[in-house]
Amino acid sequence: MCLAIPMKVIEVKGETARVKCEGIIRDVNIQFLKGVKEGDYVIIHAGIAIEKLDKKEAEKTLRIIKNEIYR
CA distance 32 to 20: 19
What average pLDDT does the structure give for the chain? Answer: 92
pLDDT of residue 71: 66
Q: How many CA atoms lie within 13 A of 35 on its CB side?
A: 2
pLDDT at 1 over 60: no
Domains of the chain as residue ranges with CATH:
5-69 (2.30.30.140)
Among 4-18, 25-39, 57-71, name the one with the lowest average pLDDT. 57-71
Query: Could you tell me the sign of the dihedral formed by the alpha carbons of 57, 10, 3, 69, in that order?
Result: negative
Check residues 9 and 3 and name the one with the higher pLDDT: 9
**Can you tell me the distance from the alpha carbon of 9 to that of 27, in angstroms, rounded to the nearest whole number?**
10
Over residues 17-34, mean pLDDT:
96
pLDDT in the model for residue 67: 87
